[in-house]
Chain A
Amino acid sequence: MNCIVIDDEKMARVIIKTLCSEIDSLELVEEFSDAIQAIKYLNENQVDLIFLDIHMPNFSGLDFIKTLKNPPKIIFTTSDPKFAIEAFEYDFIVDYLLKPIEFPRFEKAVKKAQKEQIIKKEASTNKVEEVKNDFYVNIDRRLIKIDLPSIYLIQSKGDYINIKTENKNYIVHSTLKKIEEKLPDSLFLKVHRSYIINVKKIIDIEDNSVLIKKDVIPVSRSKRPELMKRLDLL
């Protein structure tokens, strides 16, 4: 688990650093004397845990947490108990340590954060497992099951869509918008107003097109950045 500390007082940061060094599974990667610097850092780096002072000049710890879009776990470190109730209104606040912080109390708070991180990871893994692996389409009054990973391309054709799979193509009375809602984001991407592709099936990419199987599919300029983000580039 990696962490940062935000405290305007150097002594407080050094104490957190000392306490962190006693826990093998915890790595202090950065320290900040003001919250603004930390916001910039967090925009570009991911951390698991923040030790955050509340009482800081200019920008308090409570102001800071309101700026976080995707907050990591936070442990407040403060000499002021009056904010405790407000702090626990946020579910990402793990603990509230009163200064001077002693190691047993510090260790307890870190263990709590680590436990919550494990629970979060497990929940996220279960969520992935719950993602649908197939769906049924209605073709000539028959419901036909299609395995999602077998689909490599879906093309819009007027009031119909052509679902192309490894083994067969299915012409279904539907729209790209409707089917897009049923597809997992992890596999599929709409690269053009008429095409949804399975990103795992891409063979190559040129400037404005991708090759999937034998189909060359146009990629809209606006969709290209998202497509590039999805690729596992070396």
Chain B
Amino acid sequence: MEKPNLEYINQLARGEEDVKNTLIAVVKEEYPIELENYFKSLENGNFKDIEDQVHRIKHKFSILGLEISYNKAVDFELSLREGELNKDQKDDFETTLKSITKFLKTI
């Protein structure tokens, strides 16, 4: 399974530690809120809302170099748009969420 990494953030920062730290700080600031909003939207069962939260979180996947997970999130988002909550897609998505949560504690 692919693992989150800082390759894209390092590429953006171009060796500037301040920039890198700012980018990491913003991910750390936004991600828990997005995570909370995602689970809230699941509780409410509003597919449009779940789709919006998945759309938002999947950008973090791409920022953290999770290309495969990103593509799976795109499929999950599309299913939601069509009114389907696909269990496998949801499980994959949430596995990636856990992996990111774990990773963010290490940086």
Contacts and interface: CB of A to CB of B under 8 A. Distances in A.
A18 B14 CA distance: 10
A15 B12 contact: yes
Contacts of A194: none
B22 A100 contact: no
A100 B63 CA distance: 6
A9 B12 contact: no
Q: Which interface residue of B23, B52, B59, B63 has the most chain A CB atoms within 10 A? A: B59
Interface residues of B, number: 20
Given A15-B23, A18-B23, A79-B58, A103 B12 contact: yes
B106 interface: no
A12 B55 CA distance: 13
B1 interface: no
Contacts of A8: 56
A8 B57 CA distance: 12
A9 B56 contact: yes
B52 A12 contact: no
B7 to A, nearest CB: 10
B63 A11 contact: yes
Given A18-B19, A18-B23, A57-B52, A11 B12 contact: no
Nearest to A101: B12
A107 interface: no
Q: Which interface residue of A8, A10, A14, A103 has the most chain B CB atoms within 10 A? A: A14
Interface string A8-39: 11111011001100100000000000000000
B65 to A, nearest CB: 9
Contacts of B19: 18
Interface in A56-99: 57, 79-80, 99
B59 A9 contact: yes
Contact of A79 (B12, B30, B59): B59
A215 interface: no
Nearest to B56: A9
Given A9-B56, A9-B59, A79-B62, A14 B22 contact: yes
Interface string B1-35: 00000001001111000010011001101100000
A192 B58 CA distance: 62
A215 to B, nearest CB: 64
Contacts of B59: 9, 11-12, 79, 99-100
A57 B14 CA distance: 32
Interface string B50-80: 0010011011101100000000000000000
A40 B11 CA distance: 35
17 contacts: A9-B56, A9-B59, A10-B30, A11-B27, A11-B63, A12-B59, A15-B12, A18-B12, A18-B19, A18-B22, A18-B23, A22-B14, A79-B55, A79-B58, A99-B62, A100-B59, A100-B62
